[in-house]
Amino acid sequence: MVTVNLGMLHYILDHVYGAFVHRTKITPPFFSRGWGGTKLELLERLISQLFPEVEGQNWPPSLIQPIWKTVWDTQNACLREGVFRTPCDEQLLNALPPESHNARVAFLVPKSVPPQKMACVVHLAGTGDHTFERRLRLGGPLLKQNIATMVLESPFYGQRRPMLQRGAKLLCVSDLLLLGRATIEEARSLLYWLDSEAGFGKMGVCGLSMGGVHAAMVGSLHPTPVATLPFLSPHSAVVAFCEGILKHATAWEALREDLAAKEAAMTLEEVRERMRNVLSLTDVTRFPIPKNPNAIIFVAATDDGYIPKHSVLELQKAWPGSEVRWVTGGHVSSFLLHNDEFRKAIVDGLNRLEWKEPAL
């Protein structure tokens, strides 16, 4: 009798999927236009400013005023879509492509109770998640538990994608940092809007893969306690692009040529080292511990070809009090099969928060 190691199968599935999507020439690689020149220097400076000098001191989120239209409305729930100007400051706004200047959100809300007795979770996009649908499907069943879902379309994705960009394949390394920095700003503003304008009693932020890295950063930098729920997420983009399957989807030769035009000629290993240094800015373990560590739940996969186990454990070690839950599978299979585990983590994370005191 032949016994099959399921874990190995899940891991192989990740590599087969990765080879099909990233190694074939169906789509261009990531960063085919190089590092991003002066934009990269600007982003490196702006991201290093994210770390507060004093522990627990965060800059206040910007107030936004979304313009809403109703998509559908039933007895039990309502789906609206909103548009707002990205709250990024002028330097970031000038660096963003014009297509990304306006942010789009979908907002799915139950009608059974008033907002102060309801929670809302902001769902951030994973790599290649250009639409609202998948995240609305994840959040939809939570309506029964009085949990609303707010889905943010990422800069560089969906209707915010620059004209020259193919799919999710960002053209420059600076675009990855810019996408992250703008997403943090927009998600914090949405949480602030949910709290101060919509009056929700509890808030959370979640995301899959790249979206989970951004969710962890938002949870860390938000001035009030929120449930922080990263799913299938590394501790840093270094892991994804220098260790995991996406290293096969990166235009290393174009990056080397871009550096050679400005600096001395480099080996590919030196180019990868430069990438590690740049992407170390996305290392979540450098960010402050969120205000309520026991409302942080990481969900990780046992046989993930994109994210090694050590990366998840580094997050847990950096944020004492957080919880890691393991699901059996790889990155792709867990993404498809374990939505119930992600929903359970959302419910449990929110349950570990206190209800906000009603305003007098």
d(CA 179, CA 47): 11
pLDDT at 305: 77
Query: For residue 195, what are the contacts with CB-CB under 8 A and spacing of at least 6?
Result: 203, 224, 356
Token digits of residue 352: 């570990």
Domains of the chain, earliest start first: 6-352 (3.40.50.1820)
pLDDT at 246: 81
d(CA 197, CA 177): 29
Query: For residue 228, what are the contacts with CB-CB under 8 A and spacing of at least 6?
Result: 204, 205, 215, 216, 218, 219, 220, 290, 295, 296, 297, 349
Secondary structure, 3-state, the chain: CCCCCHHHHHHHHHHHHHHHHHHCCCCCCECCCCCCCHHHHHHHHHHHCCCCCCCCCCCCCCCCCCEEEEEEECCCEEEEEEEEECCCCHHHHHHCCHHHCEEEEEEEEECCCCHHHCEEEEEECCCCCCCCHHHHHHHHHHHHHCEEEEEECCCCCHHHCCCCCECCECCCHHHHHHHHHHHHHHHHHHHHHHHHCCCCCEEEEEEECHHHHHHHHHHHHCCCCCEEEEECCCCCHHHHHHHCHHHHHECHHHHHHHHHHHCCCCCHHHHHHHHHHHHHHHCHHHCCCCCCHHHEEEEEECCCCCCCHHHHHHHHHHCCCCEEEEECCCHHHHHHHCHHHHHHHHHHHHHCCCCCCCCC
pLDDT at 8: 58
d(CA 106, CA 151): 5
pLDDT at 304: 82
Q: Divide the 360 residues of the chain into consecutive groups of 10 and give the mean pLDDT of each group.
A: 48 47 63 92 83 59 95 96 95 93 97 94 89 94 97 94 90 93 96 96 96 96 95 92 84 92 84 92 92 96 85 94 93 80 97 82
d(CA 139, CA 122): 10
d(CA 229, CA 144): 20
pLDDT at 49: 76
